Structure 1
Amino acid sequence: MNGTVREVTPNVDAGTLLAGAHFIDAFRVEIGTAPVNAREACTRMVLHGLRWIDALMRLRNILVAPFGLKTSGEGAPAPGGLIGPFPVLSETPERLVAGFDDSHLDFRLVVDVTGEATGRQVTSTTLVRTHNLLGRSYLAVIMPFHKLVVRGMMSRIAEPAR
């Protein structure tokens, strides 16, 4: 069904993308015949987000700043630039890998576009590797929001470009 975001079994090589990941999940949306590549899908997810997601991200940045955690694209330049706060680490038309390494955890967002011209799909996979108690605590705090945020972000992919 076009536009419905559903959780799916992750189908990525976690060892290559983020060896030792402690958390991994994936969501998929059918986009029909929409001519979307991985960068466009990621851009629609991240930059054309819903207001409540933007508000949650602003709150997150305020709350983590005292702990010295990265906020909104801080850190070294990325090979593929930034999409919103996420450094692009590698990219093909079918797959974009974004993410960063921080003192508390390492994070990867993998956006895959698959299927034939008549039935295309976008899958968003999240991988997280924690380093310490702060990373495990942070992951535990954001988990109740993670699935809602990803579903909301992915619902933007099937919409016409703005």
Structure 2
Amino acid sequence: MPMDLPADADIHPYLSHAYFADSYSIELPYQGESALEIYFEMVNRTPKWVNCLMDLRNRIVSKLGLKHLGRMADLDKNKPIEEYKVGDQVGIFSIVSLRHNEIVVEDCDKHLNVRLSFLLVPDGNRVTLHATTVVHVKNTFGKVYMFFVAPVHKVIVPRSLNTLVTG
């Protein structure tokens, strides 16, 4: 699955043997923001319909023994962004890698491992943001879950990224 990502992207090791992987890119104005700052900006702009889908997902899967994830924007509003470090929770994910130009977050359970990278490639006063998702399934239930989630994911990510342009 070829992806147009820089060779030093922290998400690369996770791509091997992935059950599902995709990457979307968008060009944005840039004033030196970190990948974490841009990630927070996007999740804080999560469209209402995405939150409704997350709520529906949580209600359904909690009856099937999966954990209730909450919402993307369930962030600690009182914690300064510069205090975040590897291991901290950011919404539904935990930080596994944190650099100025890339953040990798994950959520792992007994059915699958999901990792998301926000990678910034600056070019003057513009930046290309690569949002990459990688999923490794652990069992049949994970495959069934991804059967339903993958098509929706392919709509949610580009629309969420576009909120960074349209506000």
TM-score (normalizing by structure 2)? 0.79
Cα distance, 1:89–1:68 mapped onto 2, change above 3 Å:
same
Is the 1:22–1:129 contact (alpha carbons within 8 Å) kept by the matching residues of 2?
yes
Gaps of 5+ in 1: 1-7
The more displaced of 30-39 and 101-110 is 30-39
Gaps of 5+ in 2: 71-84
Partner SS, residue 160 of structure 2: helix
Alpha-carbon shift at residue 98 of structure 1 (Å): 0.4
Is the 2:24–2:130 contact (alpha carbons within 8 Å) kept by the matching residues of 1?
yes
Partner SS, residue 142 of structure 2: helix
What residue is the counterpart of 1:62 in the other structure? Answer: 59
Please state if 1:134 is matched with 2:141. yes
| Pick aligned residue for 1:24 from 21, 30, 48 | 21
Is the 1:61–1:72 contact (alpha carbons within 8 Å) kept by the matching residues of 2?
yes
The count of corresponding residues between Structure 1 and Structure 2 is 149
The more displaced of 116-125 and 94-103 is 116-125
What residue is the counterpart of 2:48 in the other structure? Answer: 51
What residue is the counterpart of 2:123 in the other structure? Answer: 116
Is the 1:95–1:111 contact (alpha carbons within 8 Å) kept by the matching residues of 2?
yes
Q: Deviations over 1:74-106 (max 9, x none)?
A: xxxx83422221111110110000012111110
Q: What amino acid sits opposite 2:153 in the alignment? A: H
TM-score (normalizing by structure 1)? 0.81
Please state if 1:81 is matched with 2:85. no
Is the 1:86–1:99 contact (alpha carbons within 8 Å) kept by the matching residues of 2?
yes
User: In structure 1, how many angstroms separate the alpha carbons of the residues matched to 2:106 and 2:152?
Assistant: 18
Cα distance, 1:137–1:81 mapped onto 2, change above 3 Å:
same
Alpha-carbon shift at residue 49 of structure 1 (Å): 0.5
Please state if 1:9 is matched with 2:9. no
Partner SS, residue 155 of structure 1: helix
